[in-house]
Amino acid sequence: MSVAAVEARPRRVAPLGNYANNSSPAALQQGLDRRQRKRKRRTERHTLRHKERRMTKLDRVRKCGYVTVGGDGGGPGLRVSPDPKGGGNIAGFSGLLTCGSVWACPVCSAKIATRRAEELADVMRFGLEQGCRASMVTLTMRHHEGQSLKECWKALGKAWAAVTSGKQWRTDCERYGLRGWVKAVEVTHGSSGWHAHIHALLIWDDPIGLAEARHVGDRMWRRWTRALQRCGFDSLRRSADGKDLGVDVRMASLKPGHGSGLHEYFVKLSHEITGGQNKLAKGGGRTPFQILTDALANGEAADVHGWREWELASKGRRQIAWSKGLREWAGLGQEQSDEEIAAEELAAEDVLFLEPESWRELRDTPERVCKLLEVTEDGGYPASMALLDQWSMGYLVAKVYPRPKPPPRDHEHWQLRRDRLDESKRLVGSLARELSETGAWWRQLRELGIE
């Protein structure tokens, strides 16, 4: 195993509030409030995933954040490191299975969506800095009674292919200098069934204005609608109150506070898509996570069926797709899969390993799991140890070999990064297998007098 040395006095991490240096009391309070809200949402996501275990048909979702990698015999590691985005520390577990489901897991989906939103924002910022223009088009489809979600998804794929091909599309691309696009899929459920939306970000080399962007968006919508109709579906152009729902075109802006700033929009969108179990979907419908929440709360057959249909139909579907070459142009490097993002662990030299029996007790109370993360973020391992002592749970703080630092996101380093990632995954996998083999490691440590 890679536990290299055991420290009697674990290294302290920065205490809470270091992000608020030279901030005013109001800014400090704002930071604390934001942190509180984030923590509340994290606990909600963990609680929902825990409850979901009794309903889901997806084995990986059932095991996500619950079972240790390589079996159920070991205990996970608790890690804490400074939050790269500022705002104190961030704590998380290592050595646990993750499902990587962007559609069916409230915890993984939030992590994946956050990363995707950051990448989208990076592309937009890069494009706008290069003097490009960015517009966003939202296309909507509706489904009719009797059509399955699977059919709906299939039609969505065909319709998007029709939007981004053909002579008309090529003409528009050339005429206005389209650099590339990114699309995100969002699905909600309303009174008439499943609704799917495609949010597409278009990056233009030429300085096109809103009128041109609308013109292109309108032509996109026409191809979209025709393709949907060929599959027996329809787009939703106007709501009952005359609101244009079928196609929504906006321009992006780098200006902070700008009403249609796409960065904010995509960050907001990612939360709406994935973390919105407590919010109503637009137009009075429900997000899939709301259906899950309702199904768990009331056990109604329609909701249970709805969630099961959702799980089956969404499995393996992509939420985000990029046009060829756009990521490379923006220096984003090769795209990580959802599973890779979900499985990423915090880099930390010291790891607090939970005793296997303690983990098996702790994992059934997600509120406690989150409480442990919170105290660790606020006070480092001394605080986590104090809390675990209070709960009479066993642990061990040990040093592990540091993981390689990710190189900067550019092309030359990318292969190197992939190689290192593969190597560390292999190491982690073999370590986890060792750890889980009948808990022998734990006994060995005890025999060595290390507890």
Residues in contact with Zn ion by the rule CB under 5 A: 64, 99, 105, 108
d(CA 401, CA 348): 9
Nearer to Zn ion, 98 or 253 (CB): 98
Q: In the bound complex, what is the minimum distance in angstroms from residue 227's beta carbon to Zn ion? A: 33
Nearer to Zn ion, 105 or 227 (CB): 105
Q: In the bound complex, what is the minimum distance in angstroms from residue 108's beta carbon to Zn ion? A: 3
d(CA 185, CA 446): 51
d(CA 140, CA 137): 10
Nearer to Zn ion, 101 or 235 (CB): 101
- The answer to whether residues 284 and 195 touch, using CB atoms and an 8 Å cutoff, is no
Nearer to Zn ion, 53 or 413 (CB): 53
d(CA 95, CA 68): 6
Q: In the bound complex, what is the minimum distance in angstroms from residue 61's beta carbon to Zn ion? A: 6
- The answer to whether residues 93 and 370 touch, using CB atoms and an 8 Å cutoff, is no
Nearer to Zn ion, 66 or 194 (CB): 66
Q: In the bound complex, what is the minimum distance in angstroms from residue 310's beta carbon to Zn ion? A: 15
> What does the angle CA 27 – CA 31 – CA 35 come to, to the nearest 5 degrees?
170
Nearer to Zn ion, 48 or 64 (CB): 64
Q: In the bound complex, what is the minimum distance in angstroms from residue 106's beta carbon to Zn ion? A: 8
Q: In the bound complex, what is the minimum distance in angstroms from residue 65's beta carbon to Zn ion? A: 6
Q: In the bound complex, what is the minimum distance in angstroms from residue 67's beta carbon to Zn ion? A: 11
- Would you call 363 exposed, middle or buried from its count of C-beta atoms within 10 A (0-12, 13-18, 19+)? buried
Nearer to Zn ion, 59 or 423 (CB): 59
Q: In the bound complex, what is the minimum distance in angstroms from residue 52's beta carbon to Zn ion? A: 9
In Å, what is the CA distance from 380 to each residue of 96, 335, 398?
20, 33, 14
d(CA 451, CA 446): 6
Nearer to Zn ion, 132 or 341 (CB): 341
Phi and psi at 92, nearest 5°, equal -165, 175
- The answer to whether residues 267 and 117 touch, using CB atoms and an 8 Å cutoff, is yes
- The answer to whether residues 285 and 293 touch, using CB atoms and an 8 Å cutoff, is no
